[in-house]
A and B are shown apart, each in its own frame.
Chain A
């Protein structure tokens, strides 16, 4: 496992992906994660203001802080790969203080073996989504 820059509670998820036999199995697992997003944002709540721009797929993110000051990310995407990574991101950031979220790096996707997840392309749905979450966390500080 590469040097961790994600919260410890995400380790079992990263390990589950690392244990996959090949890339197709990893994507199959990611499709499964897409279905178990802990805090989904249903399509009826998707709008221009919560859209993550620059994605080839549609992706929407809403971030907030609960009464105890903990970060909460809700998200939805039409692409299952982005939705799966969104699910893993929500598992990582939900319940964390915003300052910890703002300091997070997206390299857990790389560690999970999701190739090209960190390519600095304007069309990279995961990176655009992650940057949106991180900037929302910074805005809350």
Chain B
């Protein structure tokens, strides 16, 4: 059944927003964060209006309701990602999820000269923790380059980098290029080499269903806010044998079994890693978001987004001076279209697009090693999602043409 985009748009009140300059919002910054459907907003509001309380701490009615809602959300979210609640640790987002692997797994299991493989395509969140671990423990960080012609990972270099690797950290889908990496091959070859695999699925999860138990990765980092959920929450999915190798990262309340002046014993499983008051409203909101997403076939969602991205990129290439980084025409590519104009600087271009009501991202996208590999300091990026339309893309291309003709 084809997606009813008008009905989907009606679920997002913000899409009717008129900007202060009188222009109707056209939101093409979805790779930074998606908009939220009314059901998510309502679920979070209902929590604060009706049963706001701390979870896992008390026996009164509100505390019971909050605890039940928090754990119901964990069940919904883990089921959506094809795994069981025990394999899911709530984090503040994908960044904290990756840091949890760095400090809760790697710090306990990696030693001087052990090898961590990352790629040039990674977000800073999947580079800096490993650089810090290099400083702290002397682990070697190897970078897999990209092919700057095809914008894909150099898989020959990847195989060379795998030698003696203990951990492979790869982005599922690039936030800049929209390229989906061959994660199945990466997981298989990494495991053959004896390395555990961490996938950064912050961009992948909004575009395809992640079935954790089937995909084989040891760790999967996910952000809620890029897939209709609220900001401030995400998770790391962890295989049971990998979780058994983990130790405490952040310490404090909730994650302990017993604290005395002699020392502390810790909870087991995901509870060891969820210290402090949980993000209750955010978890409830994310639960509502995955329920909302569950009504769609994500292959149809991806096809819809891909069609808009591919058409837009094709039209943009007709505009003199525009070049595109990535391959939006590839069937696996996400909805991210990174581009530059050869004489209008990216920040200027973003401001001039904003004047037309078009929200696009500008900058290095927290991926400076990738920018270095591409030989540019920044790009503009239009990124599409489930509620965007071809009409919006057409008006975007028209406005971009107008800006380029007037300001180039």
CB distance from B108 to the nearest CB of A (A): 34
Question: Which of chain A's residues has its CB closest to B351's CB?
Answer: A81
Specify the chain A residue showing the minimal Cβ separation from B402: A24
Minimum CB–CB distance from A125 to chain B (whole Å) comes to: 7
Given contacts A27-B355, A56-B362, A115-B21, contact A79 B345 (CB under 8 A): yes
Q: On chain B, which size bracket covers the interface? A: 10 to 19
Q: List, in ascending order, chain A residues with CB within 8 A of B347's CB.
A: 55-57, 79, 81-82, 125
**Chain A: number of interface residues, binned into ranges:** 10 to 19
Contact indicator per residue, chain B 27-56, by CB within 8 Å of chain A (1) or not (0): 000000000000000000000000000000
Q: Which of A28, A80, A125 is within 8 Å of B406, CB to CB?
A: A28
Closest to B344 in A: A80
Q: Does B352 contact A (CB under 8 A)?
A: yes
Q: How far is the CB of A55 from chain B (nearest CB, A)?
A: 8
A88 to B406, CA, bound (A): 22
A56 and B346 form a contact (CB under 8 A): yes
A-B contact count (CB 8 A): 44
Say yes or no: is B194 at the interface (Cβ < 8 Å to chain A).
Answer: no
In whole Å, how far is B381's beta carbon from the nearest beta carbon of chain A?
12
Find chain B residues with CB under 8 A from A81 CB. 347-348, 351
Q: Which of B21, B345, B354 is in CB contact (< 8 Å) with A57?
A: B345
**Chain B proximity mask over A20-31: 1 for CB below 8 Å, otherwise 0:** 000110011001
The one of B355, B362, B407 that contacts A23, using a Cβ cutoff of 8 Å: B355
Inter-chain contact B348/A23, CB cutoff 8 Å = no
**Interface residues, chain A, with chain B CB atoms under 8 Å away:** 23-24, 27-28, 31, 55-58, 78-82, 115-116, 123, 125
A sample of 4 more A-B contacts (CB under 8 A), given A81-B347, A81-B348, is: A27-B352, A56-B363, A56-B378, A79-B347
4 interchain residue pairs of minimum CB distance: A79-B347, A79-B345, A56-B347, A57-B347
